[in-house]
Structures are given as structure tokens and as C-alpha cells.
Amino acid sequence: MVFQEAFEWYIAVYLFLAGVGAGAIVAAVMADMYDRKKYISFIKAASVIGMPLVSIGIFFLYIDLGQGLWKPWLLILLFLNPTSAITWGTGILTVFTLLALIYGAFNLGFIKFSGGRTVQWLLIITGILTAGYTAVLLGVLKAIPFWHQTSLPILFIISATSTGISGAMIVREMFFKTEDSMHKIETSHFYLIMLEILLLVGMFLIAMQGVPEMKFSALSLLTGKFALEFWVFLVLLGLIIPAIVFALGEAGKMHISGSKLVFFEALVLLGGYFLRFLIIHAGVYTQKFIEYIPQ
């Protein structure tokens, strides 16, 4: 099986890293607005991973642009077509990265200027747009029906916020841990995972009623070529197990901290990566595509 060159593994890495970084910053800003003093350890942890992960993700995007990597002066063209989704996305990514750098530097004590509420609201807006843009990049390709679903940007935004919280919680546990309770963040995280499950189910219900190519892509995940990765790495490890564990934590029947917390948050990250990897590969894996490639 050979996939289209335009959708190599590093595209999934870009979508994943940009989502985690954007989600971490959005979650940090919301926690900051709610109670900065109580959640400062989480805010610092999110600041450590937010901008760097988005920047690394952008680097992988430049790899995919081909000439943009070896002839960087051509990248200025990305800003010159106001009718292009890529132009808008490039602008959003640039603004978000710069604002996240300022916000992170302030939280970590490198600068004294934070930008106040203006920067915070801009980070929330551009962070959500960054997370959603990763799905828009796929959705603009109308020739691939599986990607052309209105729920996909919402799913990616929810997943980005969930994985962003997981990434920040891991860093917090390892480097910034305090005795302050993260209960409200943990509760929000649980509901985000449940919402992600519902959106995923809804997306497949729509796909199964869609055009044949969309249905074929969905079946490749449910029962076909990618079924093992889908059910084990995404559904079981990435969604169901974390949801059960976090539900037990919410009910007070299980205490999650230390290495246990890191492990289960890492499962959420694993699921977030496979969500993007599988959606990309299932989209290009269609019946017509199979018929016209050498076996």
C-alpha cells in the first residue's frame, strides 16, 4: 500500500503538535482568568510547552511545503493571497506564536510585560483558530469527502484542548508540582474527553450515511486496514481508559497522581496523535485510490 506523497507522517505530527501547543495555552489562559494564584503551576507548565510545540509543528509544515524549507524567502508568498486559507492560517499561526512567546516569557519570569486581558483574549481566539485550522487544512480538499465534515474542526479543537491539558499536567507533575488542587481542570478534562467521544461517534454516523468514498474511509477505520490502530490506540487507550480513570477520580474512588497521572495523561496524548494520523490516512485510503495504485 502506497499513500500519496502529500500526506507523509510529518503532517500528522504537525497537526498533533500544533494542537497540543495551542490547547495548552488556551487552557492556561482560561485557568489564569479564573484563578491565577491557584493554577500558577499549571500555567507555567503550559507555558513551557505551548509556543515551542506550535513552533516545531510549523517546522514540519514547512517541510511539507518543500521549497519553503530550502528557499525560505518564498514563504513570504504565504502572506500575499488574502483569499487563500493557507494565507489566513499562516497569519493566525504567526500571531499566536508571537503572543504565546510573550505570555510564556511573562509566566516564567523572563519579562514583566504580560499584555493583560488583551493578550489573553487574543491568545484564546488565535489558539482556538490554530487548533481548528489544522482541520481546515484538510477540509478545504473537497475531493476527499471524509475530511469535508463540519464536525472535524470542532473535534480537533476539543482534542487539542484535551491533549494540551494532558501535556501541561505531565510537565506540571514533573517540574512544577504544588499542593494546590487541580480539581476544576481535571473535571473539565474529563468532560472534554467525553465530548470528544460523542463527536467521534457522530462523525462516523454521518460518514456511514455519506457518499461511497466517505463510507469506505470510515469502514477502513472501523473494520478495515486501520481497525487495529483505531480501536486499540485511539478508542481504547486514548479515550475509553482515560475517561474511566478520570471518572473514578471525579467520583473519589481513585487517587491519580505521580507516575499514574503521567501515564494516563500520556495515553490521552497517544490518542490525540492517532486521531490525526488515522483521519489523514483513512481519508486518502478510498476505493478509487486503491484501484489506481500498484498492489
pLDDT digits (tens, 9 = 90+) for 140-186: 777 788 888 888 999 999 999 999 999 999 999 999 988 888 889 99
Residue 195 has a pLDDT of: 97
Rama region for 109: left / alpha / beta (φ>0; ψ in -120 to 50; rest): left
Residue 256 Cα distances to 44, 60, 65, 198, 270, angstroms: 21, 34, 42, 25, 18
Q: pTM of the predicted model, to two decimals? A: 0.89
Express each pLDDT in 72-99 by its tens digit: 555 565 556 666 666 777 788 889 999 9
Contact 261, 169 (CB under 8 A): yes
Helices (H), 108-240: 116-139, 151-171, 183-208, 212-222, 227-228
Dihedral sign, CA of 177, 179, 182, 186?
Answer: positive
One-letter amino acid at 222 equals: L
Contact 279, 199 (CB under 8 A): no
Express as a percent the part of the chain with pLDDT over 70: 83
Residue 292 has a pLDDT of: 43
What is the architecture of the domain spanning 2-291? Up-down Bundle (1.20)
